[in-house]
Structure 1
Amino acid sequence: MPTRIDVVADPVRDRCLLTTDHLSPRPLPGRAGVVRVALVAAGALLLAGDEVRIEVSVKGPVRLEIVETAGTVAYGMNGGSARWDVDLRLTDGASLHWYAEPFIVSADADVTRCTTAYLEPGCTAELRESLILGRHNEVGGSLRTSTRAWIDDQQVLAEDLDLSAAARTSWAVLGEARCLDSITTLGFRLPHDPHTLQLEAAGSITRRLVDEHHESDLSPGIQSGATQNSLP
């Protein structure tokens, strides 16, 4: 059973249904038109054999803000492996803001992360992902990520990253960096700058490659000058 967050806009009171599995979603105080949900680990994460799945559905003109209370550590797995899958579906003018806390892949961990997003036209999503290979003074384990995103029936993003120890030290991947910090927007663009890739449809990816997470200048305010509309 996956962890689920189901939000439906309502003129009287927005409805929110939360389902717990590896993670426990908990409601937070919000303001009109905004639903805020915290994600709290329901047990030790991430261990060999864990298959974490998070499903998020937002319907109608409401903004969902997901808050992670702590980062996630993938511990050494002694030859085992784990998965972390996220499925996002936004319809009828919905909006999602999810600035995830660091995801740390310890030595001897082996993790696959997959994110899939489906947005109807007029919906927007802003997602931060901070991937850290290894704890302090540690060479991290293996991480493979896959991201797919659609706006209506148009696929706007398809990316696979091999961040295994042998591949990530290439100058074309991470080089000497240990942390890959990214913000992805769908349905609107971030301001143009040398660090930002503009997708063919409305959307952007901006990234920082740093040795320590605190060295990254990505923050919730980075899109303050963004063009928040669904036009390319």
Structure 2
Amino acid sequence: MTGRTAAGTEPADPTIVAVEREDTGRHLARELRPGAFLAPRPLLPAPDRVRIALVGTRAGLLAGDDLLLHVSVGPGARLELTEPSGLVAYDHRGGASRWRARVDIAEGGELHWDARPFVVCDGARVERSMDIALAAGARMLWRDTLVLGRSGERGGSVRATTRVLYDGHDLLVEDLDLTEPDLRELPGVLGPHRVIGSVTALGSRPQGPPHPYRTEPAGPGVQVRLLDTVAPAIEAELAAVWQSWRYR
């Protein structure tokens, strides 16, 4: 999984995380390959899953950067991904960057991904894509926060696309175009809000405490998405949703 962002840039090395479950029931990391931006580090083992931290090896995204991540979970395996810190896309000074992730989860597999905030600073221009393929009976729980700008900033340009396939059929397809600040700040779009946070369950519909912003796609899944002007309030509310759905 390699690619180019613009003329003259070199292909980025992908970060690869692949886990599987043996016939004995033991979980193991089949491949942990550091990439150009992230290094997978094993955490203390758990009896029923593999726990991996995605550790940043660079300060953030700059013009021409192309972050690639491939995560695969084998049949019946369980993976827990955590991020010790968020990712910042700095002023690209007229350039652009990309963040691309691909997730494949086999039948009976499960992934919990507790992602930290993705911050798009003034002057950044980022394309961000998440492609997820779940086999029948696979599940994923994903927490994600997008922040437009640091404190006092309006935020740069970002287009975030997500496509989720479940058993070969579209479950969730989204194109979040936040490239033009004047348009995204209109009433009915984001308005004054610059923080977008969500917890998404795919392949299942956990029945935690009721939430006013709970939505369900046309298939096995559910999402809670929140908007705010600052991150702490969203993070606290999403943490509560995450915990209530985590083991359901």
Partner residue, 1:157? 172
> 2-side partners of 1:80 and 1:220: how far apart?
38
Residues 1:64 and 1:227: Cα distance change in structure 2 (over 3 Å): closer
TM-score, with length taken from structure 2: 0.87
Residue of structure 2 in register with 1:199 after alignment = 217
Match of residue 4 from structure 2: none
Aligned to 2:56: 41
Quote the residue 1:125 is aligned against.
Answer: 140
Relative to the length of structure 1, the TM-score reads 0.93
Question: Is the Cα–Cα contact under 8 Å of residues 126 and 184 in structure 1 kept in the other structure?
Answer: yes
Alignment match, 1:4: 16
Distance 1:5 1:168 in 2: 35
The structure-2 alpha-carbon separation of the partners of 1:225 and 1:24, relative to structure 1 and needing over 3 Å to count, comes to closer
Contact persistence 2:89–2:119 (CA under 8 A): yes
- Structure 1 residues 227 and 15: CA distance shift in structure 2, 3 A: closer
Aligned pairs for 1:160-171 (under 5 A) are 160-164=175-179, 165-171=181-187
Q: In structure 2, how many angstroms separate the alpha carbons of the residues matched to 1:167 and 1:227?
A: 39
Alignment of 1:40-119 (within 5 A): 40-119=55-134
Alpha-carbon distance in 2 for matches of 1:122, 1:146 = 24
TM-fit CA distance, 1:222: 3.9
Per the TM alignment, residue 129 of structure 1 is displaced from its structure 2 partner at its CA by 1.0
Percent of aligned positions that are identical: 37
3-state SS in 2 of match to 1:172: coil
Does residue 19 (structure 1) correspond to residue 39 (structure 2)? The answer is no
Contact 2:107 2:134 in 1 (8 A): no
Question: For structure 2, which runs of at least 5 residues remain unmatched after alignment?
Answer: 1-12
**Is 2:244 aligned against 1:224?**
yes
Shift of 1:197: 1.1
Q: Are 1:176 and 2:188 matched, yes or no?
A: no
- In structure 1, distance between residues paired with 2:155 and 2:117: 14
Matches of 2:54 and 2:105 in 1, distance apart?
19
Q: Distance between the aligned counterparts of 2:146 and 2:85, measured in 1?
A: 14
Which has a greater percent of strand? 1
Distance 2:98 2:175 in 1: 15
Q: Which runs of 5+ in 1 are unaligned?
A: none
**8 Å CA contact 2:119, 2:147 repeated in 1:** yes
1:105-131 CA-to-partner distances (Å, cap 9, x unmatched) read: 000000010001000111100111100
RMSD, aligned CA: 1.6
Q: Measured at CA, do residues 49 and 122 of structure 1 come closer, stay the same or move farther in structure 2, by a change above 3 Å?
A: same
SS at structure 1 position matched to 2:155: coil
> 1:134-182: CA deviations, max 9, x gaps?
0001110001000000111111111001112132112222111110001
Instruction: Answer yes or no: is 1:214 the counterpart of 2:226.
Output: no
CA contact (8 A) 1:183 1:206 kept: yes
Q: Helix, strand or coil: the match of 1:83?
A: strand
CA contact (8 A) 1:189 1:226 kept: no
Tell me which moved more, 32-41 or 13-22: 13-22
CA distance in 2, matches of 1:14, 1:128: 23
